[in-house]
Each structure stands twice: as C-alpha cells, then as structure tokens.
Structure 1
Amino acid sequence: MKFGKLTRPVKRAFFAMSYYNRRYPQIFKWVFNSKEDANFTYDLTEGNILYLAQTLAVVTGEDHRKIERYIHEARNHAPLREHIIRESMKSVFRKVADPRADYGKRLGWYAMARIMKPKVLVETGVDKGHGSAILCAALLENKKEGYEGRYYGTDINPAAGALLGGEFATMGEILYGDSIESLKKLNQPIDLFINDSDHSAEYEYREYLTIKDMMAPGGIILGDNSHVTDKLAVFSAETNRNFLFFREEPRDHWYPGGGIGISFPKK
C-alpha cells in the first residue's frame, strides 16, 4: 500500500510532464541559437492557420478559403521576407533580433487588412517593426487592387520601427511619443486598430477608451494582449460589440503562444 502511494504520484507527474516533453529540446535549441528575449519570432502550425482563417471568417463574413490565401500570400511574400531578413541583420535591434521572417499571429493582422481594405490602419507599439512591415505590405497589395490605405504606428522608443523601410515605408509612418497622446492627435476615422503597446491592463484599456469614438462604422479592434488581460472583452461588452479570441500555436518553438483578441460590431 505504501509503495503504491509513492509510485502513483510519480506516474502522475511523468504523465503531466509528457505534455511538455517537446518543449525541452526546443528550449535548449532556442537558448543557444536565438538572440531574442521578447517578441519571439515563429511561424504557426498548419492546423492553427486553418483555425485562424475560420475565426476571421466568422468575424468578417469572408470565405475562409480566401482568407487562407491571404495568409499564405503573406507567408510566401518574397520581397517582404528578403526585406525583413536584410534589415534585421543591420538594424539597431540586430543584437536582439533573429534574421528570419516568420510572423506568428501577425498573419491574422495581414489577412484582416487584406479583407477590410482599411483607409486608416493604426498599430500602437511598433518595437522592431515586424508588424509595421507586414501591415504595410498588405496595404501595398490593396493599393494594387485600387484601394488606398495609410498606416500609422505609435511608439515611445525613437529607435522603434527599424524594419519599416523601402517600398513598405511609402504606405505609412511612425508617430513617436506616448501612444495615447499620439492617438488623440489623429483626426481621421480608424478602420482597423491594433493594440500592441504598453501591456499593462490599465494602459491597454485607456487606449480603447481613447479610440472608442474614433472608430469608423464597421471598424475592428485587434488586441495583442488578450491572452493576458480581459480588457478588450470588457470594453467590447461595455460598448455593445462582439468579442472573439484566437490563440496561437507556434511551430517548433517553446513559447506557448499569445493570440488575437477581436472586437467587432454587432450586425
């Protein structure tokens, strides 16, 4: 009986740890091969991409197959890939950035920009500029189809946005300073808003309150911090908007993934 009392917890521990066995070699590989300490770079699993397309189909009413094509358009965008790898190697962030072009949940940002064809797209919290570059790539594709759009990024770090350059920089600009103060100076309706700045719950919520009356009819808000706080869901409930959450599944990376909170108007 005593032996069973000892072995059962051990068996249960090994069973629980089995869910994380793949993570250990991934962690070991990352420790010695990656320079990143935050904003990790990874692709999504194929199944997760299907989930992402279906989630955005529910939000937008667009066919999921078309959304999948947009996602793969971003993944296979050779000029964007070459630009990001090249700029990562020479930017001010080169010591903390891996020279690779994998976009994680930003594939959803790209697809949303391609679906919505926004005239004004705002991203708060630019950091290195992966989001800036991929969003401006989407606006460039929209422009080829006859849809004009403008990107505005905000960041308090004057070095932020190093990856936004070349033809992609023609589609937008970065507003440096406190994000909320920068938002207050925008005098255009916002079609697509992406929160990715100060990740404190209080500041995130203040951003939503700031842009509440600035959103265009049909405007959509994407929250990068919704796997940590409930502020976008709370804001959506308070303003009679729908809310969904998509969770990432990174491919070949130890990080369990973040996600995309999506706030969109009710029909």
Structure 2
Amino acid sequence: MTTIRSRLATSPVARAAALPLRTGMIARHDARVVGRSVDWLVRGRETTNLTYDLDPLNREQLCWFVSAVSGAEVGQAREWVTELEDDQELFDHVVASLSTHPRRGIGAREPHWARRLGWYALVRALEPEHVVETGTHFGLGSCAIAAALLRNGHGRLTTIDIDPQAGYVIGGPWADVIDQRTGSSVELLAGLDDVDIFLHDSLHTYDYETAELGAVEPRLSPGAVVLSDNAHDSAALSHWAERTGRQYLFFKEQPARHWWPGDGLGVAWNGKEPA
C-alpha cells in the first residue's frame, strides 16, 4: 500500500488521486463549523459583538502574552485571569443587567470574557492611574477593567462611546471608578491627560483608529501601553508603533465551541524591555 501511495504521489495523476482525501479534509472541517453555527443559531441570541470563552490552550497563550508585555511572571498572569473568571459578584451583576435590558432578546445572557481576560490582567499588572477605552458598547469590557482597578485599590476608567445608551451593564461598585463620556472619541481624547493605558475598541477602520491614536498620543503618560481590540482587521496600531519607536505584539483568539474564528488584540509599548 505504501509503495502504491508513493507511486501515485509522484505520478501525473497525483492531484486527481488526492481529490477524495482533500475533499474529506474540507468536509470534516466544514461539518464542525456548520454544527457550531447551528448550535449558536438555536441557543444564542447575539447579533453583534459576539461573546465566547477561549480554548484552554489559547487562554494559556493569552497569559504568556500578558507576561511578555507587562514583565509579570506567567504564573501571576494566570492568577489574574482566574481572578476575573471566578468573580461571582461581577458575574451576577452582569447577568442581572443583561436580563432586564430592553435589548435582551438580541443580546448575551451572561458574560464570556475571552480576550477581555487580557485587558483585566494587564490592568492588574501595570496598575495604571488612568485607563481610557473607546467603544463602550454595553459595558462588559468596562466592567472588567473597573474590577481590575478596584482590586488594585486605585485608578479610574474613562470610557467613550458615540451612543448615549451605551454602557447599560455599568453599575454597582464598578461604576464608582468609571467616567462615561458620550460623543466623538477623537474630539474627547484631545481633552484628556495622563493616559496610562489606552484601548481602541470603537470604529474598526484603519483611518479612524489612526485618528484616535493621533489624538491620544500627546496625552499618553511616559511608559503608557496602547491596546487595539480587533487588531486582526487593521494594521493601524502596528504602523503607529513602528513610527513612534514602540514594541508591538499581537494575540489572536481561538474561541471554544463557537463558529466565529475569533478577534485579535494588539499592544504597543515603549522600550526594548517589558513595560
């Protein structure tokens, strides 16, 4: 059998002979995607900003990503990630907020943190005084950042969205460290100062992200860390990092049991050594 396969592999008909094998590979892959898609259609309700958990290996890779950027030991990064996952008070708050909102019919039922675990762990590691987020949406990421600030014992979050109804899950003790702003992020960024961590998560186009980076750059504190959510869709942050002499890393999500291929998280920071 091995001899026959070897001869076929080097024969003029090799490509045609391999077609059934290649077809089977595609069929198995597509069957998994279709199965997960059908399950999501039946069980899920979301129409945008999809939420999910990370594959266990991908979660571990996120911990190493946090370690590389912050200089924290990877074991400590794992503890911070677990800390958010085990925060029952925050979990219950988000569930209650989602269940009573008028848009609950097309929204998530409970929090699934995915790459936001990285946001949380970086805030825990870097202990910023001022975090700025553009693109509040319903406020899941804002609550994760606020939870990290509360555990640090200091720091505030400024979150910006053009939608006045954004941030509807923000409440309780987490709201105490959050300042919500409504309007153009580019205009509002120009009025801020001493930004220790900046997170772009608003309009994911190259031009708009570049405009935000230009607006926030003179407002950054020395050693500030800049994050770009959905960095798989735009090279704006990596280009900005290169222009400004910063380091750049990218993390790609691998969702667990979900049809969506995952989003990406880019980070830029100063110096050749970890921040």
Q: Where does residue 230 of structure 1 map in the other structure?
A: 235
Q: Does 1:185 align with 2:195?
A: no
Q: Does 1:245 align with 2:261?
A: no
**From 105, 114, 118, the counterpart of 2:124:** 114
**From 88, 103, 114, the counterpart of 2:98:** 88
Instruction: Give SS of 1:55's match.
Output: helix
Deviation (angstroms), 1:5:
6.7
Task: State the AA in 2 paired with 1:136.
Answer: A
Q: Does 1:138 align with 2:144?
A: no
Identity %: 31
**From 199, 203, 210, the counterpart of 1:198:** 203
Deviation (angstroms), 1:257:
0.5
Q: Where does residue 264 of structure 2 map in the other structure?
A: 259
Q: Does 1:40 align with 2:40?
A: no
**TM value normalised by structure 2:** 0.91
Q: Give CA deviations for 1:67-113 in whole Å, capped at 9, x if unaligned.
A: 11000100110011001111011124312212112111000000001
**From 4, 12, 24, the counterpart of 2:22:** 12
User: Given the superposition, is the C-alpha separation of residues 33 and 218 from structure 1 closer, same or farther in structure 2, using an over 3 Å criterion?
Assistant: same
Q: Does 1:29 align with 2:35?
A: no
Instruction: Give SS of 2:233's match.
Output: coil
Determine if contact 1:41/1:100 at 8 Å carries over to the other structure.
no
**TM value normalised by structure 1:** 0.93
Q: Give CA deviations for 1:164-217 in whole Å, capped at 9, x if unaligned.
A: 11111001121001111111121x210011100011111011111111111111
Determine if contact 1:105/1:248 at 8 Å carries over to the other structure.
yes
**From 215, 222, 243, the counterpart of 2:220:** 215
Q: Where does residue 156 of structure 1 map in the other structure?
A: 162
Q: Which runs of 5+ in 1 are unaligned?
A: none
Instruction: Give SS of 1:227's match.
Output: helix
* Distance across 2 between alignment mates of 1:199 and 1:246: 17
**From 55, 65, 74, the counterpart of 2:75:** 65
Determine if contact 1:92/1:159 at 8 Å carries over to the other structure.
no
* Distance across 1 between alignment mates of 2:271 and 2:169: 36
Q: Aligned residues, how many?
A: 262
Deviation (angstroms), 1:12:
1.2
* Distance across 2 between alignment mates of 1:117 and 1:197: 24
Q: Does 1:175 align with 2:197?
A: no
* Distance across 1 between alignment mates of 2:122 and 2:16: 53
Q: Where does residue 110 of structure 2 map in the other structure?
A: 100
Q: Which has the larger radius of gyration?
A: 2
Task: State the AA in 2 paired with 1:154.
Answer: I
Task: State the AA in 2 paired with 1:155.
Answer: D
Determine if contact 1:93/1:128 at 8 Å carries over to the other structure.
no
Deviation (angstroms), 1:218:
1.1
Task: State the AA in 2 paired with 1:140.
Answer: L
C-alpha RMSD of the superposition: 1.7
User: Given the superposition, is the C-alpha separation of residues 77 and 31 from structure 1 closer, same or farther in structure 2, using an over 3 Å criterion?
Assistant: same
* Distance across 2 between alignment mates of 1:16 and 1:216: 49
User: Given the superposition, is the C-alpha separation of residues 15 and 169 from structure 1 closer, same or farther in structure 2, using an over 3 Å criterion?
Assistant: same
User: Given the superposition, is the C-alpha separation of residues 239 and 14 from structure 1 closer, same or farther in structure 2, using an over 3 Å criterion?
Assistant: same
User: Given the superposition, is the C-alpha separation of residues 225 and 255 from structure 1 closer, same or farther in structure 2, using an over 3 Å criterion?
Assistant: same
Determine if contact 2:162/2:184 at 8 Å carries over to the other structure.
yes
Task: State the AA in 2 paired with 1:93.
Answer: R
Q: Which runs of 5+ in 2 are unaligned?
A: 1-10
